[in-house]
């Protein structure tokens, strides 16, 4: 059961990386259709980043109230909905609107999975976790380019990744009992480290400043 849960967590981190390079690979085409300048991609990216920061800061409360499994499932579902919203947007303003749940979902699942793996697994699994994020980031430009060169448009690229996220959301909800079973087997509880206490840990402020 532990191995199955770990495999699902790895899948979730691939899913986390999938949307991260979509905007950069699609924006040269998107901006022409939307009539937006190149620099507007930075606005969307900043909205996503702000949402990620907010949900990351709130993740401690969410994890303790809902559990890491449910937080992960809901967050991936939010990201899937946001990506579908991107795929049906026909102007710049709706993209900004959908960037909000995109950022909130990405930040929450990132914090929840990092916290869970750090507590319940060895450091090598944490390294593999972020390696799988890199797999997602690497794959998504190929998905987008295939849709663009195939004449399907950037909307199909976002929709394809959204469908992948929906499938993962279903898997995550079905796997919710595994999270509780794994926690019961390990006998470990999530550590509660408030933000004021966390920033006092040596090296943490520098990591926060250097974090993208």
CB 15 within 8 A of CB 164: yes
pLDDT at 81: 93
pLDDT classification of 17: cutoffs 50, 70, 90: confident
Tokens for 46? 């900043």
Residue 184 confidence (pLDDT) above 70: no
Residue 76 confidence (pLDDT) above 70: yes
Q: Report d(CA 147, CA 22) in Å as an integer.
A: 12
Mean pLDDT throughout 83-93? 91
Domain count, the chain: 1
pLDDT at 145: 92
Exposure string over 93-117, b if 16+ CB within 10 A, otherwise e = eebbebbbbbbbbbbbbbbbbbbbb
Mean pLDDT throughout 3-18? 83
Residue 196 confidence (pLDDT) above 80: no
pLDDT at 187: 47
Identify the CATH number of the domain in which residue 182 sits.
1.20.1250.20
| Residue ranges in the chain assigned as alpha helix (H) | 2-17, 22-34, 40-66, 68-87, 92-120, 123-149, 154-174, 176-186, 195-198, 204-210
pLDDT at 158: 93
pLDDT at 157: 92
Instruction: Domain of residue 6: give its range.
Output: 2-210
pLDDT at 206: 64
pLDDT at 123: 75
- Return the SS3 of 201: coil
Nearest to 127 by CA among 15, 17, 8, 10: 10
DSSP code string of 17-62: HGGGGHHHHHHHHHHHHHT--TTHHHHHHHHHHHHHHHHHHHHHHH
Residue 2 confidence (pLDDT) above 80: no
pTM, full prediction: 0.81
Mean pLDDT throughout 55-69? 81
Count other Cβ atoms within 10 Å, centred on residue 126.
14
pLDDT at 14: 85
pLDDT in tens, 122-159: 777 788 888 888 888 899 899 999 999 998 989 999 99
Mean pLDDT throughout 184-192? 50
Residue 177 confidence (pLDDT) above 60: yes
């Amino acid at each position: 059961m532990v191995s199955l849960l770990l495999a699902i967590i790895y899948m979730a981190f691939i899913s986390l990386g999938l949307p991260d390079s979509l905007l950069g690979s699609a924006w040269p085409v998107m901006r022409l259709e939307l009539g937006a300048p190149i620099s507007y991609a930075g606005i969307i990216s900043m909205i996503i980043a702000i949402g990620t920061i907010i949900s990351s800061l709130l993740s401690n409360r969410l994890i303790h109230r809902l559990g890491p499994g449910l937080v992960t499932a809901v967050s991936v579902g939010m990201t899937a909905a946001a990506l579908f919203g991107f795929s049906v947007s026909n102007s710049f303003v709706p993209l900004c609107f959908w960037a909000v749940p995109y950022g909130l979902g990405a930040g929450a699942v990132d914090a929840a999975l990092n916290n869970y793996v750090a507590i319940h697994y060895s450091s090598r699994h944490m390294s593999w976790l972020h390696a799988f994020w890199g797999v997602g980031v690497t794959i998504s430009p190929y998905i987008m380019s295939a849709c663009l060169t195939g004449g399907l448009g950037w909307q199909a690229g976002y929709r394809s990744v959204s469908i992948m996220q929906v499938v993962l959301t279903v898997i995550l909800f079905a796997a919710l009992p595994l999270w509780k079973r794994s926690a019961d087997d390990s006998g470990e509880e999530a550590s509660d480290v408030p933000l004021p206490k966390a920033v006092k840990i040596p090296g943490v402020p520098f990591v926060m400043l250097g974090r993208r």
